[in-house]
Structure 1
Amino acid sequence: MRRQRGDASHMTHRMGASASSSITNVGGDSVQAARLSASSSPEQHGIAVREKKKKMTGFATLRKKFIRRRRSSKACDHGRIIRDLVSTWSHLEATALLEEYEALAALKDLHVQAELARPPAATFKQDLSMLYDYKHCSDVDLVYRGACFPVHRAVLSARCPYFRDLLAGCPGYGARICLELRTPHLEVQMFSALLRYLYTGDICPHDATLEANLLRRLGEEFGTPNPLEHDLRYLLDTGDYADAALVFTSDSDYQRPDSGSSEYGFRPKLELPCHKAILSARSPFFRNLIQRRTRSGEDHTERALHIPTRIVLDESVIPKRYARVLLHAVYLDTVDLSLILRGSGCGNSAGSLGEVQALTHTGRMRPSPLEEAMELYQIGRFLELDILSQGCEDLILEYLTLESLPTVLKWGSQPHGSAWVHRQALHYLREEFQPIASSSILHQLDHAHLANVLQSHFLQASELEVLQAVLKWGEHELVRRMEDREPNLLSHTVHSVTRKGIKKRDLSDIELREILSELLPLVRIDHILPPNSEALAQAIRRGLVSTPPSHMIGDERDNLRVNAWIRGGKKNGFFVRPRLFMPYYEEIKSLVEEQMVQEADLVRLRRPRYVADIPDALYMVEEKPRAMGTAGVDVLAAAFPEDKELIIVVPDSATMAAMLKREQKLKQSPSCQRAISLPLSSRHEINRQVRLRVVREFNLPDTVADLLER
């Protein structure tokens, strides 16, 4: 069944206040509310959190999650350093740098929206509405005024006292019931709207306009139903009207058919009652399975014997300990890890979803909540239960910390992992790069992940910190390689490298330069502050930095350092686009505001001579990747890694038309229009982020964005 498309901007992303929380409600596509600093009193803090939650958008919440409050002393140091740089600049030059930052800030908003984009999982209301439309697994026919309505006994019995009593008097599969209602002049279309209301809990204006008097009369005859969630919970908890059962077995439970344990030759370890209509509505996997049984005639025997349809699940694929979590997500749109069955018989099941277990297996008897969420995500993918998969994505993001970051990055990059989680983890890495660079977590990062964030304009670290982190990572990688080459078979012996330790002077700069050959060019050397940094000078002396910063080359012209930060027209070959490092941005914005007050007569009298009004086409040429890491987006077509199989997905014409329509709508959004209006914005980069957001909302690979561009 095609997944319903939706506007990702309507999704409310909430991130949990702590990793101990284990319940995620994904009915509205959520990411739990962000962790906040406890700098204020508990009462004030609680009030502030409640007030902010009412106003937060998905983007604001994610930003709150990732951007933790930095220590004021550290922020002040960065502010002082950037002020020292621009202390000799003119007001026009400082304004040009501020405009560069503002363009990047607007682009970052669009970038984060694209990173957050995913197709919203259908809620139980939407799926039950589709169930009413397509009549899957219907077991009763209602006839009203000559119109036949195939319906589902369990849904109507749980929702409406009138139908509960009516259907109780007509047991059996396929009953055909002719209705004669007391309410006069009730049209067929109105009766259909009433049935849809029982399925969805919502009155659909496009079906009928129910007048107040008519609603009152219908309520008197049919009874007033409970909220839909209440009745679904009743069906889940009691198992009333169940016509199916989930049965979890394993190879060890198999017995001979003549053993008398069951007609299937299995001894069920766990059997949970459920409803075929609900399973069919929520999961294409279950719907296809039930339809195959119907076509094969198996369900005829079960109906004749008045036994529920047993849906047998192999515990080596879907562990039984997740059974109640699975049904809870099916009926109520929530992922509750507290429902995981614990005990000696419910531990890790050998071979469950092989690849996921191989990644998450740690040798412990009980996996962590993060590992359980990862395994449940794969189960949701296997069962085509999007509400479970997205709920697990939200939980994984809730458990994302500095310590779990390497695991989440590795898992998200795997074919069985979540691309959406991987994007959020990379965003977390960019935002938290400073504390990561100063911890041992840095050594656990893969080369590819480090290269990815170093290419970003939005990496939250000064360029000096970036250089130091790259050197630190490279030296650790070199030590690891030396230990792997250690001639001693036994480590920690007197002569072993591991035992003695390796001093920095023992490291080969040639081998280190080879290890960092792809990372060091991504460091924006011209933006290292202070420019006389000892770390930079030492890297140059060791031959790690092949090209010194521009102010060390040639004559001592004062404007060389300025030209490395702001655009200076066609003759400026030193310009490198600065990263949107927030302490620098805030300090420059404050500085320009001060200068505007002091020199009001100079404000906006003329365009800065450093800012050229270049057409967008030229910006596209200007912003191609450079050797010194100045690039934004690679616009070269078909530039894919050679070690990966290229799979081109071509949407059908209807999907492509819908995507183009969505693209045009997003381009008219306030955030996009604001980005376009800024003088230094690149329309090419803006359009790229919009297209990425569109294809991700339609659950298509990022490569499809190139089709939209063409």
Structure 2
Amino acid sequence: MGAEHSSSLKRSVSGDDIDWIGPSTSHKNPVRRSRIALVFFNKCVGTRISRLNSRRKSRSLSRDIRRAFRELISSWSCTELNALCTEMESGWAVKELTDMAEGTRHPATKLAQDLVDALNSHVVTDSFVVFKGGQYPVHEAVLCSRSNYFCTSKEVVKGIATGKCRFRFPDENISLELFFAVLHYIYSGEMPSSLSAQQLQTVENVLHRLGCTSSLEDDFLTYDFEKNGDCTLIFTTNGSSSSSNKKCSLVPDYKIRCSSVIVAARSSFLKNLIIKKRQLSEPLEIVIDEHLIPRMYVPVVLHAVYTDRLDLSKILDGCQVSASSLNEVQAIAAGRRQRTPLRHAIEIYHIAVFLNLDLLARICEDILVAEMSLDTVVGLWLWSSEIGGSHYVRRQCVAFLRSEFGRICSSHLLFELDEDLLRECLLSDFVQCSEVEILESLVCWGENELVKRMEEREPNLVANTTHSISRRGVRRSDLNDQELKLILRNLLPLVRTDYILPPFHQSLNNAYKRGLLDISPNSDLSGRKYPDSRSPDINPDAHWFDNTVPRRHPCGPRILVPYINEAKAQLRRLCGNGAEVLSAFRRNDRNCYSSELERFRVVSESTEVTSSSVCSQIESKIIQILRNEDLVKRALTCGCSYHSTQAIEQVFLRVLRQMRVSEDSVRILFFNDGGQSFYVPKHYTSQPALAFSSMWPEIGLRPSSSQSNYGKAG
């Protein structure tokens, strides 16, 4: 009734009384600003005010979360707070292990290592160094770019029979070991670690005589490989005969010279072509279709091959762009200028993967992650999820959404998120957002999807209109809750309803009233019925900390930073120094850590893909990390089977990515106390909860509370 009376009052008030109804701060004469002043105000002052309002909003949300959690733990004892803090610390250690696993990529060799490998394996050698009567195969481009002595003597040492240069080493008084040390420094820019101080001085004197005094990077930056190159790369658009490329056939070919030695040392794809042409005594000319490698990126790629640096300023202007990846680029750079670092990085990434340039591909991934924002994360995730996308960028997109989900809930970006992306994000224990905000955002997202379906389903009743349903005209009462529940069937189970704060929030009650959420079973994981006084639906804080009240699901609350800070602050207020009190509840028994080493086995999904020896190597590396890494020990402090299993799982993923083993070819198998084996579940669900009863038998190993009698009766 109050709302009706206020609305009727507003209708009856005349225009002269509006100032009287408004607040006192609005009783001012209107100020007329000029058009220039308005533009200046909107651009300069308005932007700052909007940023300030967004910061205030984020701070208020954080205060609400803190206030609700502070009220929850206000009546807890020191024992209960210790239990929660210990588990939170273990969970945060698991988060750090997760970040390490998601940031792990297979190692990529740098320029120096590739050159040394080419020297040791004699890849496409084209000259010799004569030392004490012996001939040692080397690469002319490397010697001439690094040494003034070899560069000046190149023209007078051409072999008559083979056409290969034979460089005579200027100092034959040194040993063969020091001779190889000199070659190693020329190729890598580093001295061998096995040399003594006297040997290092001798090698430095020889290098000074050879004129090799600069670093490898500086010499390769200043050397003109195009002028002194022996291989020609030809980029043409005439290879395709489709009608859409008839105009491209008029474009002249683009030719650029390069060093076959350096290119073969860096790219295994080009190395095979160069070796084949040398065996057939054919000219070193490699023709490449420009739809695979656009000419505009050729100087950038060659510069990266020579220097391990990505310089986007070397992109050629006015060149045609590959049409094969144009759709991918447009998906990333939607709403931005046509040529952006994101677009260039994506194009160069595909080229690097095609040419097997691992380090260049990694540099492009770093650029994509650095450019990640609320505006670009959805496009980057869509691109990285496609065939040929970057798995590393995909993992970083999900990690970005986890950390920024609180901001995404209150922005338009929520409606741009894909269901798979939302699901992958909410599967994590480390989403920095409260459960009630997650529930509200999912319902809002589902209602938006339902309106889209209604627009597509309704016929066009009015001529010359797109749809007969307008978004502004749709009310919540018009939405079908059963259809909405069907849309959200894979997302709502990810909401941890037992940890919504305040416990009986209106949004949670509304979701139950609309039938979007099913009522959770009044039993724990093992199927035991809760006493009425200890059920999470009646007493909503027992399952946060109490060992004698097992949870309805193994994951527990999400590891939110405000929760950790508030719990530690409350512990210090009650018990003095919280760190000293908390240390008593941490597991320090070495037998507990050694028992974790026997809980798992690495098994192969297919022996044809991954052999048993590879599985043994994976196991040994996992055990080594579990024994020596302090972060793993922090994750095992609470004694919770869930956290220990997740910690081992993240170490397992890290080892797989380091060894470049496919995650689909092997799995990790865990054993419980009863000798039964189980795989780590790849998902979390709160409905139904009894599905996990056989997977997590040791879920309650936290310090117990003296307030509970659950499980004692009978």
User: Post-superposition shift, 1:491?
Assistant: 8.6
Tell me if 1:350 matches 2:323: yes
1:636 and 1:253 map into 2 onto residues whose CA distance is 48
**Matched residue, 1:588:** 567
**Matched residue, 1:239:** 226
Contact 2:158 2:165 in 1 (8 A): no
**Matched residue, 1:422:** 394
Question: 1:597-612 counterparts in 2 under 5 A?
Answer: 597=576, 603=581
* 1:540-561 residue CA offsets vs partner (Å, 9 max, x unmatched): 111111116979x984559832
**Matched residue, 1:106:** 93
Which of 268, 275, 299 pairs up with 1:291?
Answer: 275
Tell me if 1:126 matches 2:117: no
Which of 430, 449, 454 pairs up with 1:477?
Answer: 449
Contact 1:161 1:222 in 2 (8 A): yes
Question: 1:77-92 counterparts in 2 under 5 A?
Answer: 77-92=64-79
Tell me if 1:149 matches 2:136: yes
Contact 2:127 2:165 in 1 (8 A): yes
Provide the aligned length of Structure 1 versus Structure 2.
594
Which of 296, 316, 319 pairs up with 1:341?
Answer: 316
**Structure 1, unaligned stretches of length 5 or more?**
1-67, 255-264, 300-308, 609-613, 624-632, 639-645
**Matched residue, 1:447:** 419
Evaluate the alpha carbon distance shift between residue 478 and residue 573 of structure 1 in structure 2; reply closer, same or farther with a 3 A threshold: closer
* 1:538-595 residue CA offsets vs partner (Å, 9 max, x unmatched): 11111111116979x9845598322221242376658760100111111111111211
User: Post-superposition shift, 1:530?
Assistant: 1.1
1:220 and 1:619 map into 2 onto residues whose CA distance is 56
In structure 1, the residue corresponding to 2:663 is in which secondary structure?
A: coil
* 1:232-278 residue CA offsets vs partner (Å, 9 max, x unmatched): 1123x463421112221111899xxxxxxxxxx99853222210000
2:554 and 2:169 map into 1 onto residues whose CA distance is 81
Tell me if 1:669 matches 2:648: no
Evaluate the alpha carbon distance shift between residue 276 and residue 617 of structure 1 in structure 2; reply closer, same or farther with a 3 A threshold: closer
In structure 1, the residue corresponding to 2:136 is in which secondary structure?
A: strand
2:602 and 2:127 map into 1 onto residues whose CA distance is 59
Tell me if 1:696 matches 2:657: yes
In structure 2, the residue corresponding to 1:546 is in which secondary structure?
A: coil
Evaluate the alpha carbon distance shift between residue 211 and residue 241 of structure 1 in structure 2; reply closer, same or farther with a 3 A threshold: same
1:72 and 1:361 map into 2 onto residues whose CA distance is 31
**Matched residue, 1:459:** 431
User: Post-superposition shift, 1:208?
Assistant: 7.8
* 1:293-337 residue CA offsets vs partner (Å, 9 max, x unmatched): 1222213xxxxxxxxx22221111111111111112111111222
2:584 and 2:101 map into 1 onto residues whose CA distance is 35
Percent identity over paired residues: 33
Evaluate the alpha carbon distance shift between residue 411 and residue 381 of structure 1 in structure 2; reply closer, same or farther with a 3 A threshold: same
User: Post-superposition shift, 1:222?
Assistant: 1.6
Evaluate the alpha carbon distance shift between residue 153 and residue 69 of structure 1 in structure 2; reply closer, same or farther with a 3 A threshold: farther
In structure 2, the residue corresponding to 1:432 is in which secondary structure?
A: helix
Q: Which amino acid aligns with 2:651?
A: V
Q: TM-score, normalised by structure 1?
A: 0.76
Evaluate the alpha carbon distance shift between residue 636 and residue 211 of structure 1 in structure 2; reply closer, same or farther with a 3 A threshold: closer
1:228 and 1:690 map into 2 onto residues whose CA distance is 36
Evaluate the alpha carbon distance shift between residue 494 and residue 188 of structure 1 in structure 2; reply closer, same or farther with a 3 A threshold: closer
Q: Which amino acid aligns with 1:435?
A: R
1:399 and 1:605 map into 2 onto residues whose CA distance is 41
**Matched residue, 1:579:** 558
Contact 1:540 1:548 in 2 (8 A): no
Evaluate the alpha carbon distance shift between residue 109 and residue 484 of structure 1 in structure 2; reply closer, same or farther with a 3 A threshold: same
**Matched residue, 1:74:** 61
1:506 and 1:565 map into 2 onto residues whose CA distance is 38
2:221 and 2:410 map into 1 onto residues whose CA distance is 48
Contact 1:99 1:679 in 2 (8 A): no
Q: Which amino acid aligns with 1:588?
A: A
User: Post-superposition shift, 1:181?
Assistant: 3.3
**Matched residue, 2:29:** none
Contact 2:158 2:166 in 1 (8 A): no
1:333 and 1:491 map into 2 onto residues whose CA distance is 61
Question: 1:376-395 counterparts in 2 under 5 A?
Answer: 376-395=348-367
Query: Is 72-81 or 514-523 further displaced after alignment?
Result: 72-81
* 1:70-105 residue CA offsets vs partner (Å, 9 max, x unmatched): 944432322111011112222211221112211101
Contact 1:75 1:583 in 2 (8 A): yes
2:427 and 2:204 map into 1 onto residues whose CA distance is 63
Contact 2:329 2:346 in 1 (8 A): no
**Matched residue, 2:50:** none
Contact 2:534 2:549 in 1 (8 A): no
Query: Is 146-155 or 507-516 further displaced after alignment?
Result: 146-155
Evaluate the alpha carbon distance shift between residue 134 and residue 447 of structure 1 in structure 2; reply closer, same or farther with a 3 A threshold: same
Query: What RMSD over aligned residues (CA atoms) do the two structures have, in Å?
Result: 3.8
In structure 1, the residue corresponding to 2:232 is in which secondary structure?
A: strand
User: Post-superposition shift, 1:675?
Assistant: 2.0
Evaluate the alpha carbon distance shift between residue 657 and residue 229 of structure 1 in structure 2; reply closer, same or farther with a 3 A threshold: farther
2:469 and 2:95 map into 1 onto residues whose CA distance is 45
Evaluate the alpha carbon distance shift between residue 422 and residue 283 of structure 1 in structure 2; reply closer, same or farther with a 3 A threshold: same
Contact 2:130 2:169 in 1 (8 A): no
**Structure 2, unaligned stretches of length 5 or more?**
1-54, 242-248, 524-529, 672-714
* 1:441-461 residue CA offsets vs partner (Å, 9 max, x unmatched): 111111111111212111110
Q: Which amino acid aligns with 2:563?
A: Y
User: Post-superposition shift, 1:536?
Assistant: 1.2
Which of 275, 289, 292 pairs up with 2:259?
Answer: 275
In structure 1, the residue corresponding to 2:458 is in which secondary structure?
A: coil
Evaluate the alpha carbon distance shift between residue 170 and residue 510 of structure 1 in structure 2; reply closer, same or farther with a 3 A threshold: same
Contact 1:83 1:587 in 2 (8 A): yes
Contact 1:659 1:694 in 2 (8 A): yes
Evaluate the alpha carbon distance shift between residue 598 and residue 331 of structure 1 in structure 2; reply closer, same or farther with a 3 A threshold: closer
1:290 and 1:572 map into 2 onto residues whose CA distance is 63
Which of 145, 153, 164 pairs up with 1:175?
Answer: 164
**Matched residue, 1:523:** 495
Evaluate the alpha carbon distance shift between residue 606 and residue 199 of structure 1 in structure 2; reply closer, same or farther with a 3 A threshold: closer
Question: 1:253-268 counterparts in 2 under 5 A?
Answer: 268=252
1:532 and 1:287 map into 2 onto residues whose CA distance is 66
User: Post-superposition shift, 1:532?
Assistant: 2.9
2:65 and 2:336 map into 1 onto residues whose CA distance is 44
Evaluate the alpha carbon distance shift between residue 377 and residue 176 of structure 1 in structure 2; reply closer, same or farther with a 3 A threshold: closer
Evaluate the alpha carbon distance shift between residue 495 and residue 124 of structure 1 in structure 2; reply closer, same or farther with a 3 A threshold: closer
Evaluate the alpha carbon distance shift between residue 592 and residue 294 of structure 1 in structure 2; reply closer, same or farther with a 3 A threshold: same
Q: Which amino acid aligns with 1:311?
A: I
**Matched residue, 1:313:** 288
Evaluate the alpha carbon distance shift between residue 437 and residue 616 of structure 1 in structure 2; reply closer, same or farther with a 3 A threshold: farther
2:113 and 2:288 map into 1 onto residues whose CA distance is 26
Which of 124, 127, 148 pairs up with 1:161?
Answer: 148
* 1:398-442 residue CA offsets vs partner (Å, 9 max, x unmatched): 111011111111111112101111001100011110111111111
**Matched residue, 1:53:** none
Tell me if 1:230 matches 2:214: no
Q: Which amino acid aligns with 1:91?
A: C
Q: TM-score, normalised by structure 2?
A: 0.75
Evaluate the alpha carbon distance shift between residue 212 and residue 690 of structure 1 in structure 2; reply closer, same or farther with a 3 A threshold: closer
In structure 1, the residue corresponding to 2:545 is in which secondary structure?
A: coil
Contact 1:691 1:708 in 2 (8 A): no
* 1:102-149 residue CA offsets vs partner (Å, 9 max, x unmatched): 110111111111111111211101111111111212111222123321
**Matched residue, 1:194:** 182
In structure 2, the residue corresponding to 1:197 is in which secondary structure?
A: helix
1:491 and 1:649 map into 2 onto residues whose CA distance is 62
